[in-house]
Amino acid sequence: MTITKEPSAPLAVVLGVTGNQGGSVVKALAESDKPYRIRGLTRDITKPAAREFAAGGVEMVAVSLTSDNAADARAVFTGANIVFMVTNYWEHLDVTREVAEGKMLIDAAKAAGVGLFIWSGLESIINVSNGKYPNVYHFNGKGEITEYGRRSGIPFVNVQSGWYASNFWKLQGMKPKKLADGTFELALPVGPQTLLPVIDTPNDYGLFVREAIECPEFGPGSEVLTSGQDITVGDMVSQLAEITGKKITYRRIGDEEFMTATGMPPSVALEVLESLKYHEECGYYAGKTTDASRRHLARPTRTWADFVRATDWSSVLA
């Protein structure tokens, strides 16, 4: 990593540095030929990922960024030229909490005079679908935070996160299942032509954040739509089968069957069901294309096939 401590270099404060997105942001800034100072935030600076970043030159700071902790947020943002923020809905499944934390962080950045605020948002599915799919809280809450950030007056960029390539590999209820005849099946409540902006997040998400910071086309007020490759679920399954040498088929199943087959708690299964149907009907990014967002990346992104080849599937396709 080429991270500097030179006071003349811009200071980037990165939330979620021990996670998929924040870790990727640090990696991408460290790859840049422009120097950055980086302050990484975590609740636990003793965990291995935190120690590794510290050894690489990241200033690691322990902080818990909950909505009752605005003073600490303002303190860790002080002096920042750039802040990257992500919220983690899946840790608590509480959209009210997610939105409150997002708004608090925007207010804190405003108070600290941050130069560029980069947020990992998602579309408001309830709005884009005109109320047809109201229950996808992990998208809707992020849409609300985006709207708040845009109206706050701070220099704000929304770098929306694509569909994680790891979902079919690690998410319970989203992995291919073994059938009685020994072959595998991926069964989802949408057609095989459903297109997704698939991204190997730890490897590539940060590239788009770097683009948002370094490329003049993406200043404050802009939106970046991340994707390693836009690919249909049907093609994902056939490429997975071809590369791993396993027989894997895709099947569209009914909503009720999906809800019970996933094994997720009912409220979570409903979120996932509605999100998939929204992706099929409206498009993950509400019909916007990812072309312009991919034009000025510093290096190529991984395709789905690249991700499949780089991943050990033995526990999934056993």
Q: What is the 3-state secondary structure (H, E, C) of 12-47?
A: EEECCCCCHHHHHHHHHHHHCCCCCEEEEEECCCCC
Strand order of the sheet with strand 59-62? 59-62, 37-42, 11-14, 82-85, 116-119, 156-160, 223-225
The number of beta carbons lying within 10 Å of the beta carbon of residue 90 is 10
Total of chain residues touching ligand NAG, rule CB under 6 A: 5
**CB 219 → ligand NAP: shortest distance, Å?**
23
Site string for ligand NAG, 91-130 (x = CB under 6 A): ---------------------------------x--x---
Write out the residues near ligand NAP by the rule CB under 6 A. Answer: 15-22, 41-44, 64-66, 86-91, 122, 138, 161, 163-164, 167
89 binds, among ligand NAP, ligand NAG, none (CB under 5 to 8 A by kind): ligand NAP
**CB 279 → ligand NAP: shortest distance, Å?**
11
Does residue 67 belong to the site contacting ligand NAG (CB under 6 A)? no
Does residue 4 belong to the site contacting ligand NAG (CB under 6 A)? no
16 contacts: CB under 8 Å, gap ≥ 6? 22, 23, 41, 84, 85, 86, 88
* Burial (CB count <10 Å: 0-12, 13-18, 19+), residue 284: buried
Q: Which residue is nearest to ligand NAP (CB)?
A: 19
Residue of 40, 143, 189, 206 interacting with ligand NAG (CB under 6 A):
143
Q: Given the rule CB under 6 A, which residues bind ligand NAG?
A: 124, 127, 143-144, 147
